[in-house]
Amino acid sequence: MLYALSIRPEPFSMASDSMQVFTPEEQKQLPKHIAIIMDGNGRWAKSLGKPRLFGHRNGVKNVRDIVNAARAIGIPYVTLYAFSQENQNRPSEEKSGLMKLLQEFIKIELNGMQRDGIRLRAIGDLRGLPDYARKAVEDAIEKTKTNQSWNLTLALNYSSRQEVLQAVSSYCESQDERNGELTWAGFAEHLETKDLPDPDLIIRTSGEFRLSNFLLLQAAYAEIFVSPLHWPEFDRKAFEDALREYIRRERRFGKTSEQLTTQNSLPHSS
């Protein structure tokens, strides 16, 4: 049984004053792609004496809140770790409830995604989803594939290790392999994320310090922010705090701080 929220879920929207949260200079330093490991729904529900599905339903509501915040602030790509291959080991009742929530989420959001130019993608093996959930996702992907205003990706029945194995197999069968030169750029074209930039920031909620088989290769240079809050508690303020922490960090990509200072002080050609 799914437990209804006291607030009717609203489709994606955008607050008009959101751009004032960050200064113009801070806006330039914001990440382009944020990937989120949405952890802690069940533990949050348990702390309230509620069933785990109560936590998952409130987690879906929070997806709307954080997606709306990201769009309004100007983050063009968000990827959400919604269901891992390892989650297939969960109790059948919980998995069924999660899949029904996924179908409901897609049904509620699809018109808004089409209206607002949001493109939906999915990474992971969708064959591992129940037919009704898989068809809902595939239908939304097809109907939004030409949208260009914003990008939402759901990781569903996803395993980064499995993605890498599939990419290796695909690469070995490709013309790239026959040409004999292996480059990251060439190999990355065989990953499921080939149409996405690598994540700049990975947020994980609920205080766990691990990637849990999520975007292992793509996260090579991502900043990682771990929040002690469970996902349903991770509100807009917590999201903005994560972005401010990202802005404060110095991303060196193997260089020294002195090299970056010199590089940033050079005049830019027009």
Which positions are catalytic?
Answer: 39, 87
Distances from the Cα of 236 to the Cα of 67, 173, 267, angstroms: 10, 45, 37
Three-state SS for 84?
A: strand
Smallest Cα–Cα separation from 12: which of 69, 78, 74, 77?
A: 69
Q: Which residues pair with 56 in a beta bridge?
A: none
Helices 52-73 and 236-248, axial angle in degrees (round to 10): 50
- For 102, other C-beta atoms within 10 Å of its C-beta total 23
Angle 131-144/92-116 helices, nearest 10 degrees? 20
